[in-house]
Structure 1
Amino acid sequence: MNVESLHSGLDTVWVVLTAAMILLMEGGFALVEAGFVRYKNNVNIIMKVFADITIGTLCYYVLGFALMYGKDVWGAIGTSGFLLHGDLSHLNFSISIDTYWLFQAAFAIAVISIVSGAVAERINFRVYLLYIVLMTALIYPIAGHWVWGNGWLGSLGMRDFAGSAVIHALGGFSALAAAIVIGPRKGKFTSKGSSTIALPSNLPLASVGAFLLWFGWFGFNAGSTLTASDVRIGHIAVVTMLSAAAGGAVTLVYTLIRYNRSDAPSVINGSLAGLVGITAGCAFVSDGAAIFIGAVSGLLMMAATNWLEARKIDDPVGAFPVHAVSGMWGTLATGLFAQDGGLLYGQGWHLIGVQVLGLAVLCAWGFALTWLGLKLINRWIPVRSTEEEEEIGLDISYHGIMAAHQAHDFIDDEESLFNEVLREQEERKL
């Protein structure tokens, strides 16, 4: 075996391993979202994540990857590589196209999972399946091409190493549009405009989900080197850890001082915000900058959560504050703190200007296409579950089963209601 073959083999192992770590993050998304919502919707959360992985993977294989990484036309879209066939010779890596596709498919699945949390407990399950197709086959791939696929934003010099903008800001603004179109959960806001609290079903479960996401993020960021021999891998892992720690620490201290208690959901989301914030610049910024980026990400997440509440926008798991707001900050922070090109390193205004432009385009694209897509779907299929379905829970309504027999928080006699709903469903079929 020659040195080149050995190098390629090691790179392949590295990329497949990190792709698997990113796919494990879907377990993290499932647990965080299930832990944050009520018991009666736990199964629905799990089924949406399985739909993300299954339907999303196939859509990205058939169409999405080609639009994102196929031969560029006018800097706008890819035109080759459908079903991984055709001319992809311009993708010149030490790994195979199959390996590269696997890694990128894991990213595409993560984008749609961001939207899942924002519409939890009230979206029509069939509509969500259609939206998965829209996101993984069109919205994300086209936007990704602009930055990562030899598109126009990449040509201008936009830097987004692992996706603060392309994945998180885009996904977060798509989540915001979906939450606005579908509207808040029943009873979330009173007639006087105040917000009520829907108690999370299982915060320990949500914390385990956050730890899984944290673990997978090392694959998310360090894996984006695409080679096992990149000397930046260790540094990328270190700044990823520091930013996540800073995001969690600042929310812990902030809530302790302001509310006289350390708020668990805030600390969970603060750590995730720190992870999102460092994703764009993890290969470009120093340790100190990473701590600052993570700390600001946590504070911005808290501010954005209050902003949503004030505007009566219901985001049950904090998808917009964690992903969109922290993703925007992380992208801008790269323009400030990048050691090669950053404004604060005396490198001028070009990079920060490109970062601002790229953010504006990507966020507007995700918001507009999601809003339009759901509005069009709603002309044929109601995007929101019915009041009855929401009241008894989406688990029974859409999946015919409950997450746990001990889920007494929403009905007194769940078994009789379970059987009654099943009978009604059978009668409608007949």
Structure 2
Amino acid sequence: MDAGLFTANNVWMMVCTALVFFMHTGFAFLEIGLTRQKNTINILFKNVFIICVGILLYYIGGFNLMYPGEFNGFLGFAGFGIALPEGGLTPDYADGGYTYWTDFLFQAMFAATAATIVSGAVAERIKLGAFMIFVLIYVGLVYPIVGSWQWGGGFLSTIGGENGGFHDFAGSTLVHSVGGWGALVAIYLLGARIGKFGSDGKAKAIPGHNIPLAAAGVLILWLGWFGFNGGSVLSADPGLTSLVLVTTSLAAAAGGVSAFAISTFMYKNFDLTMMLNGILGGLVGITAGADLMSPLEAIAIGVIAGAVIVFGVALIDKVKLDDPVGAVTVHLICGIWGTLAVGIFGDKAGIDQILYQLAGIGATGVFCMITAFIIIYTLKATMGIRVSKEEELEGLDIHEHGMDSYADFRMNDR
């Protein structure tokens, strides 16, 4: 490989790393936009904490837990810290796609995303200290172990022999549903916000305080997904990279239109938040197979993901779970759909591939639900995971941070 191509590959991967980092701004804007003013600083604090400790945890042990080299396919560890291997800055590393340092940083950006997904689901009522402990364990141990099963050469990558195997291109299951399963367990153990469900058991809308910020967050996330999926090509290969960006965008657009159309038909209003989550559902749905799909198949995946959003949000409300930003529907249910879609559409479609995809979904779901339950239930039984009624009603910003997010503009939700 000539030096120019190696440099171009590495520069593209560094650009994608920056785009995935920028996604954390999108997540933060989306979460604060869809929740109330009195909890804005609390949500921003959680998002900043996640990216800071996520990078450090990935350096301390996460990277070598996720990519342990030769291991038994279930659990391996290559040691603490990171050390430049021989040839790590040359085309001998990663088939010339990038350097060792770029590899570490790009993967570290993914690691923090799983906990960010949980942050939105538990917004407005979780104790900050308990959440931070959960993040340390979930990002430091759970996420890299699951990732090693596929991306680290573990058992999911080898089922079915040379021509088979679980396929998750950029993380519909390995990133998004890891966060989604954690979020599902967390909101079950945490309970709903005060006022979410009336005495008749019906869900009540708790409007977000800044929908323009939420919309900006989704558009930033869409932009960041060009790095999330485009970088997962692991080089600047012009043909595959351009295909991935096309399928990613088409699925996002189709998801937004589908969710908007279905929700308008069902509820007789033009719901922007449903359209925004439809875009995210399409993005999550295409992430597992963005490298395998034709443009038309990407649109089909997005259309179905948009429908999943509308009915999934209704289902979460029906079973009396409180998810302020729709994280479980977007990241877990659409993550499952996108993973299954690999066996239905695209180059690997077939019953065998569907079974491989189900194996990956099942293994990830069981492991994440068990570990998340152990972590959160232990925290609940010891230090507690929910703020007091007074703190929840008055807002976490004042009680946990001693400040107001908009000091000169106090709204009635305080």
Shorter chain as normaliser: what TM range? Answer: over 0.9
Deviation string, structure 1 residues 175-227 (Cα, Å, up to 9, x no partner) = 10011111111121123211111111011110000000000001100111111
The match for 2:156 among 153, 164, 186 is 153
Give the Cα separation in 2 of the matches to 1:86 and 1:241: 36
How much does 1:149 deviate?
0.3
- Determine if the alignment matches structure 1 residue 168 to structure 2 residue 171: no
How much does 1:87 deviate?
6.7
Q: CA 1:147–1:91 in 2, change beyond 3 Å: closer, same or farther?
A: farther
Aligned residues between the structures: 403
Contact 1:16–1:99 (CA under 8 A) maintained in structure 2 = yes
Q: 2:271 maps to what in 1?
A: 263
Deviates more, 1:188-197 or 1:239-248: 188-197
Give the Cα separation in 1 of the matches to 2:268 and 2:3: 59
Gaps of 5+ in 1: 344-348, 412-430
Deviation string, structure 1 residues 333-388 (Cα, Å, up to 9, x no partner) = 0111122x212xxxxx2211100111011122222211110111223311111111
Q: 1:350 maps to what in 2?
A: 352
Q: Report matched runs for 1:78-97 at 5 Å.
A: 78-85=76-83, 92-94=94-96, 95-97=98-100
SS of corresponding position for 2:208 = coil
How much does 1:91 deviate?
6.5
Superposition RMSD on alpha carbons, in Å?
Answer: 1.5
Give the Cα separation in 1 of the matches to 2:343 and 2:82: 34
The match for 2:110 among 78, 98, 107 is 107
Q: 1:335 maps to what in 2?
A: 343
Q: 2:228 maps to what in 1?
A: 220
The match for 2:8 among 4, 7, 10 is 10
Q: What amino acid does structure 1 have at the position aligned with 2:146?
A: A
How much does 1:41 deviate?
0.5
Q: CA 1:154–1:91 in 2, change beyond 3 Å: closer, same or farther?
A: farther
Q: 1:21 maps to what in 2?
A: 19
How much does 1:105 deviate?
0.5
How much does 1:78 deviate?
2.9
Q: 1:420 maps to what in 2?
A: none
Q: 1:379 maps to what in 2?
A: 381
Q: 1:125 maps to what in 2?
A: 128
Identity of aligned residues (%): 37
Deviates more, 1:159-168 or 1:378-387: 378-387
Give the Cα separation in 2 of the matches to 1:127 and 1:249: 38
Contact 2:20–2:225 (CA under 8 A) maintained in structure 1 = yes
Q: 1:37 maps to what in 2?
A: 35
Give the Cα separation in 1 of the matches to 2:368 and 2:211: 30
How much does 1:22 deviate?
0.4
Gaps of 5+ in 2: 160-164
Contact 1:251–1:299 (CA under 8 A) maintained in structure 2 = yes
TM-score, normalized by length of structure 2? 0.94
Give the Cα separation in 2 of the matches to 1:376 and 1:393: 25
Give the Cα separation in 2 of the matches to 1:127 and 1:139: 17
Q: Report matched runs for 1:240-251 at 5 Å.
A: 240-251=248-259
SS of corresponding position for 1:83 = coil
Contact 2:263–2:310 (CA under 8 A) maintained in structure 1 = no
Contact 1:246–1:271 (CA under 8 A) maintained in structure 2 = yes
How much does 1:74 deviate?
0.9
Q: 1:423 maps to what in 2?
A: none
Q: 1:57 maps to what in 2?
A: 55
SS of corresponding position for 2:81 = helix
Q: What amino acid does structure 1 have at the position aligned with 2:145?
A: I
TM-score, normalized by length of structure 1? 0.91
Contact 2:93–2:99 (CA under 8 A) maintained in structure 1 = no
Give the Cα separation in 2 of the matches to 1:72 and 1:209: 40
Q: What amino acid does structure 2 have at the position aligned with 1:360?
A: G
Give the Cα separation in 2 of the matches to 1:60 and 1:378: 26
Give the Cα separation in 2 of the matches to 1:78 and 1:194: 47
